[in-house]
Structure formats: structure tokens, C-alpha cells
A and B are shown apart, each in its own frame.
Chain A
Amino acid sequence: MDNPDPRRLDLRASLRVIPRRYVVRSFFERGAIVVYALLDVSASMRFAGNAEKKRLLADITAAIAWSSTRHGDAFSLLACDDAVRQDLFIPPSGRRGLAQESHKKILSAEIRPQSGAKGLPCAIEQMRPSRSLVFLISDFHLDEALLNSTLASFSTHDVVPLVLWDSSEYRDLPDWGWARVRDMEGGGDRSIFLRRSLKREIEQRYLARRNELKTLCRKFGARAPFFIEDKFDAGLLTRHLLEAG
């Protein structure tokens, strides 16, 4: 028996179930909180290195949606590039099939090339004012001002930053050789001659950035950022949330 409380015994229901057993009523507060998945769909999220970031976005969002609706919380999807993407908006609801719907929606959505993520702070206008859980899913390759204003505008909510980095961005680089790289958000070209010292420098920059993000999130009252590299493991995220809570 799930909830062995004799005061809540539901006799009518118990008579109707097959096989016969006692059924107990249990009461949940519906829509206690709304869980928001706030996606950054700027052009840099088109990056596909060792994993495709867009697919990761869809997977993570679906996992959050599934888990929150299962626990009776409402789920809502918000996606922003330079504006809030209304075509990707799913208003808060607890209906079934939300996970599949949002998964499909994200995969079929087109991430506009050359777009930034200026819409992120505006997403607050489409959210309910009550304190909610916000998963901010982005690669966090935003400029400092935008990142600050985003975190500041969501500071009334419980923000969990999920950082999507690809191992081919900084760890899994070619060993040696000359390469030109182009910024996906229109930041120009750069020539880099990869060699051991440069690779080490790039990796160190990303490590420094990781620490920087941690302090920044602490400063704005968000939870510690959770770093996802190439593969999303829901179990690790759960543990991260429990540790932080």
C-alpha cells in the first residue's frame, strides 16, 4: 500500500479495483510551482562538435518536463534568441505528453544563424510572478553585461544554470596545425595555430571561465551552475540539485 493511512481509506474505490485491495486517498497540492526551461537558442547553440547542442537541449528539456509533470508541477518552455521565440513557447501546464511535445518542438525548430541571445532578460515578462524553478540552459558564451542582466532579472526565481559545453570546444582540439575559426554569432574570424602551449592556454581559459561562472551565479543568488559536456546524465543533475538544496 502506497500510503497506509486508515483515515483516508476510500471504500468505494477499494470495492471497484481488481484485484481487490485497499485504496487510500492521497492529496497533492496541484501546481505548487511552475518549472521553467529557459533555453538560449542563439546561433552558437547550432554548434555540433562531439555532441549536437540542439539535441542536448531537447533531451534535457524533455527530461525536465517529464520529471516535473510526473511530480505534479506545471512545466513551461521558453526559448530566446534576440527576442523571445513565441513559436517555441509552451505555457505552464501539467498535461501529459508535454515532454514529447517539447522534445519534438525543439528538434524541429530552426536556430537562426547570426542571432544573439539578447531576448533572455525579456523572458521574465512571460513568466508568472510567483517564485518558480528556472532551468537556464545555455552555453553561457554571452557577453558579461547580458549575462549579468539575465541573472539579475531572474533573481526572484530559483535559477539552475545548466552550462552546455562541448569537449571539442576546448579539450578535444587538434594537436597541431593551422586553422581558421569563425564566430557563429558574427564575431569575425580568427586564425589560430594550434600547438601544445596554445591548447593548454585555451583549456585554462575555459577552466577559469568555469570558476568565473560559479562566482557570478553565487553573486546573483542562483544555484551553482551544472556543467554538461557532450552527454546529459539526469542522475547527475538530480544529485547536483540535491546537494545544492
Chain B
Amino acid sequence: MSEFLQTAGAGLQSPGWLVLLLLALVPLLVRGHAAFPYPAISRLPEDELSLWIERFWRWAGALAIAATAIALSGPYWGEQQLEKVGRGAHVMIVLDRSASMNDSFADTAKSDSESKMAAARRVLQSFVAQSREDLLGMVTFSTSPILVAPLGGDREAVLAALRATEAGGMGFTAVARGLGMGLDYFEGRPVTGARAILLVSDGGAHLDVKTQDLLREMFHRQGASLYWVYLRSANGVSLKENLDDDDRDAYPEHQLHDYFKSLGVNYHVYEAESPKAVEDALADISQLKNQPVKYFEAAARQDLSWMFYLLALLSAAALFALHLTEVKRWRAV
């Protein structure tokens, strides 16, 4: 039985309520209900139907209490890890939420100055909605990284996280820590598909040597490729420009670009100056198809408490019906 329950994924949400099951004994054991005094019940016939009604009455009371106790403890079944096969990549979106993301794009030709965050959000949303078979996860970062959705097939969580970025960005750009957290989610998972870090950011940051080494090592260990969607600000520098060595230090974007190039993993940069460019960049990434990806997904469990509430309601209704038939006055009407 318990093995069956295990495989069916049955369980209780809050088993503490089961203590109330003891109360179900009360209707079975308690004597001393209101009764009509009668001189000698040995003169009354032992009626089978009446006996069964008495039994039914007691058991219905016990059942009503027991069902309520079980319903309160929240029974469910069907929590299962379903094995699913996907054909997409493992994509960890690392989204910049620093204050600069609220600015508009470099390409000011267009009058509708959509903020970079809004554009990134819009395009990422359509990317997430389209990529049916990818495993997606998401980390946002500003001053420190925040995990919003672990790597998995749950698109709703990622979409909800994207909607949540409407609150606006704040703080600084901690690229290294965001990347580190994103990479952490590949740890310990079987390499069944291409791994990609999708960094959506509008600027660089200085990485010290120690951090650079650490990140490089992580990239190599996870075998992840890196896609950088660089959202160029109005006053930002283009990565395509070749700068003198002296100037390079002044632009952290260039430094970061150089560092990524030196990582030794598959690295692409998409310099997006307008919302349109972002779409193009993501269209490329969604082309990443590869070997079938096996992954497990938790099937939503089914709540069974309504069934017990219904049972309790029915028993209570039966009790009430029985109560209505009770003789109120020991007289012929």
C-alpha cells in the first residue's frame, strides 16, 4: 500500500492535523445522548432497521470528523518527476538590471525611445515563448545577483520573472557575480545539450585577475558558450571600434569583450543599438538546436482535500437529515 502511495506520489501537506482523527472516536464511544425515559425497554421489540440507523448515525458522525481532519491535513497525489525530452539548448539568461538599463538606446534616430530594459524584456519574452524545447533559467543582477528561475522547463516562471523587471533597474553592474551564479546552475547536471549563457547587459565592469581566472575555470568546467547581447547606451562605446591600447582601459566594455574573447569557449557578441538589433541577436541564439535533452519535470500534484471536504459535507448532511426525522415529543400527533 505504502509502495503504491509512493509511486502515485501521494502525501499530506500538513500531517499535524491528523491528530484531529482522534476526535472521530467521540461519536463512536460517547453514550448519554438525550433520550426519552421509558419504563422498560425490554418490552420494546429489537428492530433491525432501528439498530442500523443508530449505527449509521454513529459512523456518519465519525466519518464527518475524520474526513474533515484529513481534508485539513491537505492530501494530494500525483507529485511525480516526469522525464521529458527536449531538443533545445540549456540557456541561462543573465540579465542586467542596473540603473543604466533604464536609459534608451544609442540609435537615437527612432523617436520612440524605448528603454533598453523594456526592449530586452519584450524580446526576451518572445524568445522564451518561442523556444518550446529549450531549458531556460534566469538570473538577474545589479549590485548582486538574484536567482529568479532555476534551469528547467518552467517557462511561466521565467516569463513571470521578466514581467517583474518592469519595476525598473537600480544599483551597479556586477557582471562577474551574475555570470558566476548563472554558471552554478549547470553544476551537477548531465551535459545533454548545448549550454549557453545569455548575458544581456549594457556595459562592462572591471574584473580583477582573480575573478577572471575563476570565471574562466567555471566556463571551462561547464563547457558553456557565452552570448553577449550588448545593449549600447546613447553615450556608450561601440565594440566594433578599434581603440588604442591606452583608451582601452577607459572603456570596461572593451576590457570585458577582450576578456571574453580570451576565455577559450564559444563566444559571440551581438551589439544591439536598437530594439530591432536585439531581436536579430536572439533569433540567432534560438537557432541553437542540438542533441535531444533529457530532463525531469515535476508534474503538478492534485489536491485531494476537496474530496474529503465533500465526504464530510455528505456525512454532515446525512446527520442533519437524520436529526430532522427525530421525534421531538413522545406523543402521537
Which A residues are closer than 8 A to B by beta carbons? Answer: 44-47, 49, 139, 141, 143, 166, 168-170, 172-185, 187-194, 198, 201-202, 205-206, 209
Contact = CB atoms under 8 A, between A and B. Distances in A.
Nearest to A165: B39
Given A194-B327, A206-B43, A182 B332 contact: no
Given A177-B327, A179-B326, A187 B333 contact: no
B327 A189 contact: no
Given A191-B53, A192-B44, A201-B45, A178 B327 contact: yes
B4 interface: no
B182 to A, nearest CB: 70
Interface stretch (B30-38, B136-144, B210-218): B30-38
Given A193-B49, A198-B47, A182 B333 contact: no
B322 A178 contact: yes
Interface residues of B, number: 31
Nearest to A204: B45
23 contacts: A47-B37, A141-B39, A169-B38, A169-B43, A172-B332, A174-B332, A177-B327, A179-B35, A179-B326, A180-B34, A181-B36, A182-B41, A183-B38, A183-B42, A184-B39, A185-B40, A190-B44, A191-B51, A191-B53, A193-B49, A194-B327, A201-B47, A205-B43
A178 B54 CA distance: 9
A79 B39 CA distance: 18
The 7 closest A-B pairs by CB, nearest first: A141-B40, A191-B54, A44-B39, A182-B35, A179-B327, A177-B327, A180-B35
B325 A178 contact: yes
Contacts of B111: none
Contacts of A173: 330, 332
A245 to B, nearest CB: 30
A41 B159 CA distance: 86
A181 B44 contact: yes
Given A190-B50, A193-B50, A194-B327, A139 B39 contact: yes
Nearest to A183: B41
Given A190-B50, A191-B54, A172 B331 contact: yes
A187 B44 contact: no
Contacts of A193: 47, 49-50, 53
A179 B53 contact: no
Residue from B33, B43, B54, B333 whose CB has the most chain A CB atoms within 10 Å: B43
A182 B37 contact: yes
